[in-house]
Structure 1
Amino acid sequence: MAEIAAGAVPSPNIWNSPQVYEIENRAVDPDGLLEAALRRIRPWAGATVLDLGCGTGFHLPMFAREAARVIGVEPHSALAAAAARRVRDLANVAVRVGAAQAIPLPDASVDVVHARWAYFFGPGCEPGLAELRRVIRRGGAAMIIDNDATRSTFGGWFRRWLPRYDPAAVEAFWARQGFSREPVLIRWAFGSREDLAEVLRIEFPAELAEAFLAEHDGCEVDYAVNIWWRRY
């Protein structure tokens, strides 16, 4: 049984179905809009990059191509082991088990933090934000990717799943923490309807997943996200 770092917020989609989540990762943003936006905010050539909540390490090779050093931190030990296997041939990448509230790194040791749909969902994530302040060097930046529930097909699905979610309150929280918002409209592009169906079933309750699948044609979904970011 996998060990879980203390304090970790469960991620049922990837924790329970990592193979399906891999299909989702491959479908996200085939146009590279998110990577381009991240580069505009804080390039990572020659930097030390922390991918916080790295899961199976899908994004680690992207950072490793230019960064001096990349560290993936993941609270789920089995996923961290999968991430380590993914990057075993990359000399500048290491993977550690740990949670956002207790990052296993020294003070002022990283230049760029990337967190994608992992832990930082607004109010309640203050312990993790305190850890970011501790580990990021002066001149570094944190870039946190989360859903934009105010627009897009996926945003509409998200609101139907969580009708009490308050995007304005989330934005106000990030503003109080000194973060700026970079909105990006990406898309999912799946190879088949079967792949889309599998991913919907790990992201939403069964009844909603089937309803969304019935309402939506094709293998692509427009998907709005926010990058919440700040420099330190």
Structure 2
Amino acid sequence: MEGALPSPNIWNDADTYEVENRAVDRSGLIEAAMERIVAEHAWAGGPGNSHGAAGPTGSPHSWGRVLDIGCGAGFHLPRWAERAEHVVGIEPHPPLVERARRRVADLGPELAARVDVRRGTAQDLPVEAGVVDVAHARWAYFFGPGCEPGLAELDRVMAPGGVAFVVDNDASTSTFGSWFRRAFPEYDPAAITRFWRRAGWTREPLLVSWETDTREEFEAIVRIEFTPDLAGRILAEHPGTSVDYAVDLWWKAY
């Protein structure tokens, strides 16, 4: 699809990326922070209220209409379907679109009826203007300078009272952050932070982790994130099945 930015990990090895999704943030710190921010900052205008959904966060359909940008194989769509009136997942890569649709179909009729997976890009969202209450993009497209077209699309589709979230690496700290800096020495965390703050977004730093069930799984996900040479050096240096992982949860209330 024109404008799509290939993802070297999930596009090339969706099965291993599924293992990585299960490994990241098993404690649910990212989702808990999102829930708190929605509750604290959105209910004056009201995710859900603009579409007639019920009550505050924690009640049925409390997140109104959810948009998952770069949903990949749909890993997070079932969670959003549990709390949303309607969910739209956007993904440009056809094999992942099909995997996401199969995942949704397996949810059963009630939840599946709330979820729509569409092929599209962040900078040209196939979504009406002003209808999204909660937007979520996790390690997809929004990596600082260069993502301005996608930010403009968020401005177009977000409803008054809505909240948009972008989850990205915090390369300034944590063991995983040190690996990321070795892989991308040109990456400037301070410049990324300045970019988001100039764009009107707020930073919520979180320390989560990768936690796999086996060393084999841990090695597999390291190998899809880094070059063979760097992955080999990381694995030689780092034993076990987990690593501390700093992330930035960027958010903007509309």
Considering the TM-score relative to the shorter chain, is it more than 0.5?
A: yes
Aligned partner of residue 228 in structure 1, secondary structure: strand
2:95 aligned with 1:78: yes
TM-score (norm 1): 0.97
| Distance in 1 of aligned mates of 2:98 and 2:118 | 9
| Distance in 2 of aligned mates of 1:101 and 1:120 | 10
Aligned counterpart in structure 2 of residue 97 of structure 1, from 119, 122, 139: 119
> Mind listing any 5+ residue stretches in structure 2 that lack a counterpart?
40-56
| Distance in 1 of aligned mates of 2:115 and 2:67 | 10
2:12 aligned with 1:30: no
Contact (CA 8 Å) 2:63, 2:134: kept in 1 or not?
A: no
| Distance in 2 of aligned mates of 1:10 and 1:78 | 13
Contact (CA 8 Å) 2:63, 2:133: kept in 1 or not?
A: no
Aligned counterpart in structure 2 of residue 42 of structure 1, from 21, 38, 44: 38
Aligned counterpart in structure 2 of residue 173 of structure 1, from 180, 192, 195: 195
Aligned partner of residue 87 in structure 1, secondary structure: helix
Moved over 4 A (4+): none
2:116 aligned with 1:116: no
TM-score (norm 2): 0.88
Aligned to 1:51: 68
Aligned to 2:79: 62
Aligned counterpart in structure 2 of residue 149 of structure 1, from 162, 171, 185: 171
Contact (CA 8 Å) 2:219, 2:235: kept in 1 or not?
A: yes
| Distance in 1 of aligned mates of 2:192 and 2:65 | 29
List per-residue Cα deviations over 1:54-105 (Å, max 9, x = no partner): 0000000011111100110001011011001101132101100000010001
Distance 1:137 1:205, change over 3 A: same
| Distance in 2 of aligned mates of 1:223 and 1:114 | 19
Per the TM alignment, residue 142 of structure 1 is displaced from its structure 2 partner at its CA by 0.8
Q: Give identity over the alignment, percent.
A: 57
2:220 aligned with 1:210: no
> Mind listing any 5+ residue stretches in structure 1 that lack a counterpart?
none
Distance 1:126 1:46, change over 3 A: closer
Aligned to 2:13: 17
2:104 aligned with 1:87: yes
2:219 aligned with 1:197: yes
Aligned to 1:125: 147
Per the TM alignment, residue 41 of structure 1 is displaced from its structure 2 partner at its CA by 1.3
| Distance in 1 of aligned mates of 2:159 and 2:217 | 41
Per the TM alignment, residue 46 of structure 1 is displaced from its structure 2 partner at its CA by 4.3
Contact (CA 8 Å) 2:17, 2:221: kept in 1 or not?
A: yes
